[in-house]
Amino acid sequence: MADGTMTLDTPWKIAALIGLLAFLRIFWGLWREAPSRRLALELLDSGLIAFLLVFVLVRPLVVQAFFIPSGSMLPTLRPGDRILVNKFIYRLSPPQRGDVIVFNAPPYALSEGDGQKDYVKRLIGLPGDVIKIRSYDGVYVNNRRLDDPPGVPAPQYDWPVDEFNHQPLEEGHTVGKDAYFVLGDNRNDSNDSHQWRDSITGQSRPDLASWRVLGKAMVSFWPPGRLGLVSDHVQVHPSKAPRQVVTAPSADFRAGKDGHEPR
Active site residues: 72, 121
| Rounded Cα gap, residues 53 and 42, in angstroms | 17
| Rounded Cα gap, residues 68 and 87, in angstroms | 17
Q: Which among 139, 137, 135 has a CA at the least distance from the CA of 251?
A: 135
Instruction: Kindly calculate the radius of gyration of the chain based on its CA atoms and give it in whole angstroms.
Output: 23
The residues pairing with 197 across neighbouring beta strands, listed in sequence order, are 204
* SS3 label, residue 78: coil
What is the residue type of 207? D
| Rounded Cα gap, residues 207 and 193, in angstroms | 7
Distance of CA 210 to the CA centre of its chain: 13
Other C-beta atoms closer than 10 Å to the C-beta of 99 total: 26
Rounded to 5 degrees, what are φ and ψ at 16? -65, -40
What is the residue type of 119? Y
Rounded to 5 degrees, what are φ and ψ at 240? -90, -5
The residues pairing with 83 across neighbouring beta strands, listed in sequence order, are 66, 220
Q: Which among 152, 157, 125, 139 has a CA at the least distance from the CA of 248?
A: 157
